[in-house]
Amino acid sequence: MMMSLAIGSTFFLSVVAGVLTDNLGIRLTTFIGGALATAGMFISSFFCDQIEVLMVTYGLMFGGGASLAYTPSLVILGHYFQRWMGLVNGFVTAGSSIFTIVLPFILPYVLDVGLQTTFQVLAGLNAFLMVAALVFKPLMPILPQSRPQYDNSCKGQCKSFWSRIINFDIWKNKRYVIWTFAIPMALFGYFVPYVHLVKYVKLVLGEDTNSQLLVQCIGATSGLGRIFFGLIADRPWVNRILLQQVSFFCIGSLTMLLTAVNAMPFFIVIALGMGLFDGCFISLLGPIAFDIVGPTGAPQAIGCLLAMCSIPLTCGPAIAGALFDHLNSYLVSFLLAGVPPVIGSLVLFSISCVKQPPPGAPGSPVREPLEKQNNATAVEEPKETHTLMSDYRISNGDIKEPRPLSASGSDEAVKVDVRRLATLQRESCV
């Protein structure tokens, strides 16, 4: 129960992590998350035999801290590695695959030293999140975004307050809305084989079968898939959303195919395939979010998506388990589990029917060309750059009215303003 609560908290509180990332900054949000996760794990070591306390310390504190650290870790990659975002996401997320492979070997030794010591060692490992947070320095300046103006009524003031905290513009991007609802739809059956595969294989092949090997196979190819498909996704001719559709379709098909095999070699082949396409799906979450809403909306876009994913990831395996208890068979459970990923992959086709919002429209992505990455965002029209810079300086009290722009289209003052804007925003993010 507490494991489910911890995983659910990690995903569900991602929306809070996205809001805090926008308002407190990437570095501070990650540091708070690391401190909360460390404290939760350390306190849990003194209450190993009290489930009620562990529900709070491990389920909520550790899960919430992990959420606050995980979301910014995906966002910061877009500031440093925009050109190779898919590959870098693959390397970053491959760590969980390594632990999936290694954990079965070290678990017996961990249990020998006792749960209290184990929790304390894990608390020490979590403390490294706070150290890592210190190097999360944003490099990509984000040009100031216009906010809607509201009247002075109570309702208007309330809307103005929340608009400064929550980025409502990402929900005006139809492509993001479709993507955010299609992904959780696909995940209703996505997690079922990962939870029930070991037990299912034992039922089919016998209790003496080393079905734990399948979990290690999934972890191994998932790590390779994250790096391999991340590298492919960085090719300019590759459609990342289409690549994610292929991964969902293959995962759904392989899940249903599990019901038709009755030999260990076939189970291994299916497990290797599922891990490979699982890596594809995981490594593309961050890059696609940046593609659809840009760096301005990415923190809350990723947070909202992960929060919505918490529902199917928690309910899907539970529903499959309930069906097994009622039918005493996994046949229906695995067949039904393969349907949502296939449907989700087909729903994602509708994104191609929706045009990307024009630059400057609410929720539109703002990306810089490859040769300008990690520098001030390039704006083709100098007057637009000058206007944005003037608005930013007025809002911060630097000047009281806009400075006139000279007639030269390549005015050196505009270039200086862009550099000053980058410096101001970097300082405000630190």
Residues 338 and 389 in one domain: no
Look up the CATH number of the domain holding residue 22: 1.20.1250.20
Burial class (CB in 10 A: 0-12, 13-18, 19+), 366: middle
Question: Taking 70 as the threshold, does the pLDDT of residue 91 lie above it?
Answer: yes
Q: What is the per-residue pLDDT for 320?
A: 87
Residue 402 has pLDDT above 80, yes or no: no
Please give the Cα distance from 36 to 12 (Å, whole number).
16
Other Cβ atoms closer than 10 A to 377: 23
Rounded CA separation 428/422 (Å): 10
Q: Which domain holds residue 344?
A: 2-137+158-353
Domain assignment present for residue 116? The answer is yes
Question: Is residue 51 included in any domain, yes or no?
Answer: yes
In a domain, 367, yes or no: no
Contacts of 106 (CB under 8 A, 6+ apart): none
Cα–Cα distance measured from residue 383 to residue 387, given in angstroms and rounded to the nearest whole number: 6
Same-domain status, 236 and 382: no
Same domain, 297 and 417: no
Looking at 353, 387, 404, the residue that finishes a domain is: 353
Instruction: Report the pLDDT averaged over residues 275-283.
Output: 89
Residue bearing tokens 């050109």 = 83
Q: Are residues 310 and 418 in the same domain?
A: no
- Average pLDDT on 325-331 reads 88
CB atoms within 10 A of CB 384: 14
Same domain for 311 and 183: yes
If you average pLDDT over residues 74-91, what whole number do you get? 79
Task: Look at the chain and report how many structural domains it folds into.
Answer: 2
368 lies in a domain? no
Banded pLDDT at 183 (limits 50, 70, 90): very high
Q: How confident is the model at residue 14 (pLDDT cuts 50, 70, 90)?
A: confident
Q: Which of 353, 386, 421 is the last residue before a domain boundary?
A: 353
Instruction: Give a yes or no: residue 325 inside a domain.
Output: yes
Q: Please check whether residue 149 lies inside any domain of the structure.
A: no
Mean pLDDT, residues 314-340: 88
Residue 59 sits in the same domain as residue 208: yes
Q: Residues 65, 36: contact at Cβ < 8 Å?
A: yes
pLDDT, greater one: 250 or 110? 250
Taking the C-alpha atoms of residue 327 and residue 321, their distance in angstroms, rounded to an integer, is 10
Same domain, 226 and 276: yes
Instruction: Tell me: do 88 and 233 sit in the same domain.
Output: yes
Q: Same structural domain for residues 269 and 416?
A: no
Q: Are residues 313 and 380 located together in one domain of the fold?
A: no
